[in-house]
Chains A and B, each alone.
Chain A
Amino acid sequence: MKKIAMGLVLLIMAASCGVGSSSYDKSLSGNPLVFLEKGDLQVTENEASGSGKFVFLNPIPVDDSKSFEFSMRLLEDSSSVTIVTKAGNKLENGLSIVFSRKAEKLEVNVTLGTYKKSISDKFTSLKASDPLSFVIDVHAEDPAHVLIWKKESSYTKDNTRFNSNEKDSQNSKLYAMKSKVTGKFWGFALNKAEISSPKVGAPKHSHSH
């Protein structure tokens, strides 16, 4: 019995200790990252700007639902910011959301496997040239459930810019995802754009049952 108790204590201690050391390229808002395409990316303490692609070092368990927050600026016409979550370590096979600027219009496209949808009509009230901040909930359900809010709004289901489980007047889910998320990593691809204060945390919206 003593040996079992000791084993349990050791197991807990081993799993509770700090993160092992890893080499990484930079740190953004406290999140260590690795460049996948360095391009002309400039990364400071809280901001990344230019063009390039990077993945955050630390994994997120596949079955954890999370919220991803960030602020961005699309610096010129045809600029884009792509956030990829729940992806492989090269940001492959993940949930990808592309925010791009076409003149003053903000175009937004979501991709997960064979699922490809333009959701630009949900963002028509936003000006692409303005600084923008978003919160994206990715719920690790089957199929995945994605909700997008403008940051600092109230994070209710009724206040979303986009809700993949939203039903239309015919009770149909037009934007329902087809599959679940399968990856552990997240990161960004920037094209003449800047992002700041990226953060991952507990989902803003949760099912209470």
Chain B
Amino acid sequence: MKQDTYSNKFCATLFFLISSVLLNAKTEGTGLEMSASVDFLATVNDPKQETFAIREAEVSLFAPIDHRFYGLLSIAAHREDGVSMFELHEAFIRGDKFFSGFSAKAGQFFLGVGRLNQVHRHDWPFISPPTVFKKYFGNEGILDTGLEASYLLPLPFYLDITAGVTSGWTFGHSHDQGKQPKIPTHYARLKTFIDGGDAFGLALGLNYIGRHSSEGERLHIFGLDSVAKGEIFGRNYLFQTETWMRQTTPKSGDEDLSIGFYLFPQMELVKSFKLGLLFDYYTNLSLVDVLGNKTPNSDYAFSPTLTYDSSEFASFKLAYKYLRSNQPSKVSEETHSAEFQIVFILGAHPAHDF
């Protein structure tokens, strides 16, 4: 309760500051823009979620800082034990005017890997994270403080390389500041794009993330992501997929190897209405029982999702989710749930990549 009070005071103070800054910005013409987004979620038959909840509320300020740099500051409120807690989300400075094709940023940001990890949750094409994403990156993605640089290679085709290093004191969901890792979180991404005109655009990415924790656990994550968008038979379509594989080797104990992927084809039905189907699959490849026998296991889910986009500032999604878990330690479990999401955005919204 005390935290709630602190959080609300902080929030009120921050809103006051933001309003003041914006008022000044308008008069001084600094180009400062503000965005606020709200992600409301209603669920039926999901024991892990409250029936109605503001899953996330985010306020962002962004603007060119000067002729070389751009800055962004965002705070977000998440539900934590039934209480909305405001926290610093992203705060970074980015420059892309040093030399052709090069950009760099410093501060706190979502790591520039994969697809979902680089897109705020309220802009995802489906409601809930696929299992593999949730297991490796948490419900929302990996956020950390550090440096990231990208370079568009001077080649006759599009090839961009991104590399970054972040503190790595924590990785994923944590309740404290973590501990200094032996090797901080480091990552790289190779991205290419194929332009097929109106028919399609295809973005492909190859990713790597590594970390060596304070306890001596080595983490390696490899990923492949792909997004295709275009028009077929006069209707817009989207096809998005990511495959991730994770290897963790603790200082003592057995290596853990797992893999998972999701596929999300989506088609426009009529203007503003889209229908998509999320299929996701995850398995641990190194699970053995006490006697050393390999134990097959899997989690998979189907989630048809109907989306109504009133505009780019208001979106409504309705999804049914079937999840099946085949784990050796229990009888296979099936769950059926439904989700309804409303996302609305006030003010400007920073542009996303393809």
Chain A residues close to B by CB (< 8 Å): 12, 14-24, 30-31, 34, 55-64, 88-89, 93, 141-143, 145, 157, 165, 171, 173, 176, 179-180, 182-185, 200-202, 206-209
Contacts and interface: CB of A to CB of B under 8 A. Distances in A.
B160 interface: no
B178 interface: yes
A67 B134 CA distance: 19
Contacts of B287: 59, 61, 184
A15 B283 contact: yes
Given A12-B298, A18-B296, A208-B53, A23 B328 contact: no
Given A12-B281, A14-B296, A89-B290, A209 B176 contact: no
Contacts of B290: 22, 24, 34, 55-59, 89, 185
A168 B275 CA distance: 49
7 contacts: A22-B291, A62-B256, A88-B253, A173-B176, A184-B254, A184-B287, A208-B49
A20 B294 contact: yes
B293 A56 contact: no
Interface of B: 2, 47-50, 53, 55-56, 78-82, 135, 139-140, 170-176, 178, 213, 215, 217, 248, 250, 252-254, 256, 258, 281, 283-284, 287-291, 293-298, 300, 326-331
A34 to B, nearest CB: 5
A34 B289 CA distance: 11
A206 B138 CA distance: 13
Given A16-B296, A22-B293, A142-B174, A208 B328 contact: no
Contacts of B256: 61-63
Contacts of A93: 252-253
Given A20-B296, A22-B293, A59-B287, 13 more contacts: A15-B297, A18-B296, A21-B293, A22-B289, A56-B290, A60-B327, A61-B287, A93-B253, A142-B170, A184-B254, A185-B290, A202-B48, A208-B82
A-B complex: 3 closest residue pairs judged by Cβ atoms: A209-B78, A58-B328, A15-B298
A182 B250 contact: yes
Contact of B300 (A12, A88, A206): A12
A23 B172 contact: no
Contacts of A63: 135, 256
B48 A19 contact: no
Given A12-B300, A16-B296, A17-B296, A179 B80 contact: no
Contact of A59 (B53, B328, B331): B328
A182 B80 contact: no
A197 to B, nearest CB: 14
Contacts of B170: 142
Contacts of B289: 22, 57-59
A154 to B, nearest CB: 13
B81 A157 contact: yes
Contacts of A171: 2
Given A176-B176, A209-B139, A60 B329 contact: yes
Contact of B253 (A21, A34, A182): A182
A209 B55 contact: yes
A59 B80 contact: no
Residue among A15, A60, A145 with max Cβ neighbours from chain B (10 Å): A15
B327 to A, nearest CB: 8
A142 B171 contact: yes
Contacts of B252: 93, 182
A12 B103 CA distance: 41
A55 to B, nearest CB: 6
A207 B82 CA distance: 8
Nearest to A17: B296
A182 B218 CA distance: 12
A37 B10 CA distance: 56
Nearest to B294: A20
A142 B330 CA distance: 25
